[in-house]
Structure 1
Amino acid sequence: MLLSRRIFRSVLAATLLSGAVHVQSVWALDTPASHVFMVDTTTGTVLLDKNGDTAMAPASMSKLMTLYMVFERLQDGRLSLDDKFYVSENAWRKGGAKTGGSTMFLEPSMRVRVEDLIRGIIVQSGNDACIVIAEALSGSEEAFAADMTKKAYELGMTGSTFKNSTGWPDPEHRVTAHDLARLAQLTVERFPEYYHYYSEQSFVFNGIKQSNRNPLIYKDMGADGLKTGHTEESGYGLTASAKRDDRRLVLVVNGLSSKKMRSTESERLLEWGFREFGNYPLFKAGDVVTDANVWLGQKASVPLVIENDLTLTLPKRARQGMKVKVTFEGPIPAPLQKGQRVAMLSITAPDVTPVEIPLLAGESVEQLGLVGRLGAALDYILWGGGSR
């Protein structure tokens, strides 16, 4: 099955945390995964999208939201890494090894440090650790799941509904690949002081050593997170992130048939994204793109500036065909206010949607007085405006 060829309309950002521009490639790539979403986080460019906005069973990739809520409390001071949470009989029973799910082997009545619970969730995918956190933060897992869903909507994850803290199978527990990619990007960018836990390869708790299930962090490819998932319903999935130089890609895959395929397919897709696309910085915020003539102004011209940094993610083969053009109805009549939108920057390249960015007046230009306007009008009649 081919990935979606949906074109993403190019817009001036209000991307997650940058002033970049979105461009959607029209390329398609075969993949056995049932759901795929890959984005370049610098520009917000969607590189691959197969059922990215279709609800799916996320399995343990749900734990990204559980951890996000912990990191948020750590960052604002409501929690510390040394705080200890009580292990209830319920958390032990529902999240323990007897259920057949992943566990960090907590025992009833233990009091466990928050940092150990974080590592137990990330490295060991501990369902018991998730339930301990849920009960400590919201009183019950059901209440915590409702808080997770509320937080998801606050973050723009409108295709997600959580029914538990672990990803345990539930017909109403659903997340989209697009939403998971958004959550992963927010985790990387908002919590740099805690994100490093996602790259830990092993963790020992209660005398038992377990290894991180993320296959990509063991490979020399820039991968540094995030979380795997697997149930019979979901198949094998992975929310992954990798960084090379100044580029970071986030990839979500789900519905694969084996651990081996999860590893090889995730690596293949990320390598494709880094190899076939490049980021091209064109302008910095405030750069003068060109000058425009002014009609009846106290200055003969005005600089046209760009409001935000402009970086495009393009297929590398399209870079040589990129064209940049500025359009406006000129000369631009005075008066002009600094910051006034007066022109449009258009960028085209093969196989991508044209990008249009407004350009602003770089300074204010007052209108000439009556005598000056009469003189300019006469000048225009006699000489076609050549002197102004």
Structure 2
Amino acid sequence: MKFRFAFAALATVAVGAAVAQTLPPPEAATAPPPEIKIPDAPAPAVSKAWIVMDAASGQVLAGANIHEHLAPASMTKVMTSYVLAAELKAGKITRDDQVMMTERAWREGGAGTDGSYSGFPVNQTARLEDMEKGMVVQSGNDAAIALAEHTAGSEEAFVQLMNAYAQRLGMKDSHFADVHGLAAEGHYSSAYDMALLGRALIRDYPDTYAYNKIKEMTVNGITQPNRNLLLWRDPSVDGIKTGHTSQAGYCIMNSAKRGDQRLISVVMGDVSEKQRATDSLALLNWGFRFYETHRLYEPGKAIAQQKVWKGAEREVKLGVAAPLLVGVPRGQYDKLKPMMDVPKQLVAPIKKGQKIGTVKVNLDGKTIAEAPLVAVEGVEEGGFFRRLWDALWMWWESV
């Protein structure tokens, strides 16, 4: 939903080397509904960890044990997908590459193992895009290994890429030891990191993410369904991935979009395929019922102005570089309190896009979203006398 903020500062308070400006509460387009007390999220009864995240802002709406290190099982393949998408964008691989189903990939992840497999024939090639769909839709362990070998030369080298990308995404609770999620020493993640990863895949590589909503796939004459039961139960669900091993239990990460709002839920260590789907959908329904996503600021538009010293212009327009979105309890939009932290003194020259400070959005005294403030337009350095005069005034104000 889009709402308009009023941006004139009400008060100014010195905070260290910065100035915090409290902005008026946002003006809703219509009168907000009566405030209601949000009931507790429907916590899965026996899972080890779970989370509900607002996809737009990354805000955690509810969860339990969200940073606990747990086996992610085949949800690992979402990390594999992310790396493949990143390498594809970088031009290192192409969708039309011919990927060999090697002896190792077939032996360690093929039909002769206890895990899920894609069914591509051993010692034959298939298009990279088809092989990746076999990994995503059929959860093929063999396809995951073959893709890793093709992309990085070996599974071990590809795993290093996975950990590097995970670190870049801020997945502090994760370490990967294989590309498919079968039990391995030092292979773990968390509900929070899996939600963070799902959000990143949706945001950064939507074309790759779209594979996750494919309901079935046929390879070598064998048709296998997607193991995500919610693809059949709820049309708003378009991914993401399931997983199961004896160590991990039954795991699932899902995302659904209803209107302009997208949520992500992750359940780890559940008791059955049916129960993980039921628990995941209950969390999504709760999130959609009691929270809403708001787009507060648009990039490139001025949300405030700040005085500039020694500049050709006396003020600089400030805004955000990317849309600032936030998930809030329904009926509490009018309680949002935006605030800007900016330097006490800004001195020209200032370049367009230069980071100036931070805009934060508070609710009930808690910061629920923040983003860098940048200069919407540049400010050139003023002439000699302007610089001299401002230097004198800056000195006077500092004594």
Fold shared, TM-score > 0.5 on shorter chain: yes
Cross-structure match for 1:44 = 58
- Using the alignment, how far apart are the partners of 1:262 and 1:207 within structure 2? 30
- Counterpart among 92, 112, 126 of residue 78 in structure 1: 92
Secondary structure at 1:317 match in 2: coil
Displacement of 1:100 = 1.0
- Using the alignment, how far apart are the partners of 2:155 and 2:305 within structure 1? 60
Secondary structure at 1:105 match in 2: coil
Displacement of 1:310 = 4.0
Question: Alpha-carbon deviations, 1:183-238, whole Å to 9, x = none?
Answer: 22221122223222111001000100000011222233411111100111111111
**Matching of residue 211 in structure 1 with residue 225 in structure 2:** yes
- Using the alignment, how far apart are the partners of 1:188 and 1:134 within structure 2? 21
Secondary structure at 2:189 match in 1: coil
- Using the alignment, how far apart are the partners of 1:342 and 1:76 within structure 2? 31
**Matching of residue 31 in structure 1 with residue 57 in structure 2:** no
Structure of higher RCO (CA pairs closer than 8 Å, 6+ residues apart)? 2
Cross-structure match for 2:214 = 200
- Using the alignment, how far apart are the partners of 1:343 and 1:89 within structure 2? 55
> For residues 236 and 345 of structure 1, do their structure 2 counterparts lie closer, same or farther at Cα, with a shift above 3 Å needed?
closer
Question: Alpha-carbon deviations, 1:84-135, whole Å to 9, x = none?
Answer: 2222222222112232110112332122221221111111111111121222
- Using the alignment, how far apart are the partners of 2:378 and 2:158 within structure 1? 52
**Matching of residue 103 in structure 1 with residue 106 in structure 2:** no
> For residues 28 and 104 of structure 1, do their structure 2 counterparts lie closer, same or farther at Cα, with a shift above 3 Å needed?
same
What code does the residue aligned with 1:313 have?
G
- Counterpart among 161, 178, 188 of residue 174 in structure 1: 188
- Using the alignment, how far apart are the partners of 2:238 and 2:297 within structure 1? 30
Matches within 5 A, 1:1-388: 28-29=40-41, 30-32=43-45, 33-285=47-299, 287=301, 305-307=318-320, 309-323=323-337, 348-350=362-364, 352-353=366-367
What code does the residue aligned with 1:252 have?
V
TM-score in terms of structure 2 length:
0.72
- Using the alignment, how far apart are the partners of 2:357 and 2:180 within structure 1? 51
Most deviating of 82-91 and 121-130: 82-91
What code does the residue aligned with 1:220 have?
D
Number of residues paired by the alignment? 344
Q: Which has the higher Rg, Structure 1 or Structure 2?
A: 1
Secondary structure at 2:178 match in 1: coil
Question: Alpha-carbon deviations, 1:47-81, whole Å to 9, x = none?
Answer: 12322222110000011122222222322332222
> For residues 46 and 88 of structure 1, do their structure 2 counterparts lie closer, same or farther at Cα, with a shift above 3 Å needed?
same
Question: Alpha-carbon deviations, 1:148-172, whole Å to 9, x = none?
Answer: 2233223322322211111011232
Gaps of at least 5 residues in structure 1 are 1-24, 374-388
Tell me if structure 1 keeps the 8 A contact 2:118–2:140: yes
Displacement of 1:315 = 0.6
CA RMSD of aligned residues (A): 3.8
Secondary structure at 2:331 match in 1: helix
TM-score in terms of structure 1 length:
0.74
- Using the alignment, how far apart are the partners of 1:131 and 1:147 within structure 2? 14
Tell me if structure 2 keeps the 8 A contact 1:302–1:363: no
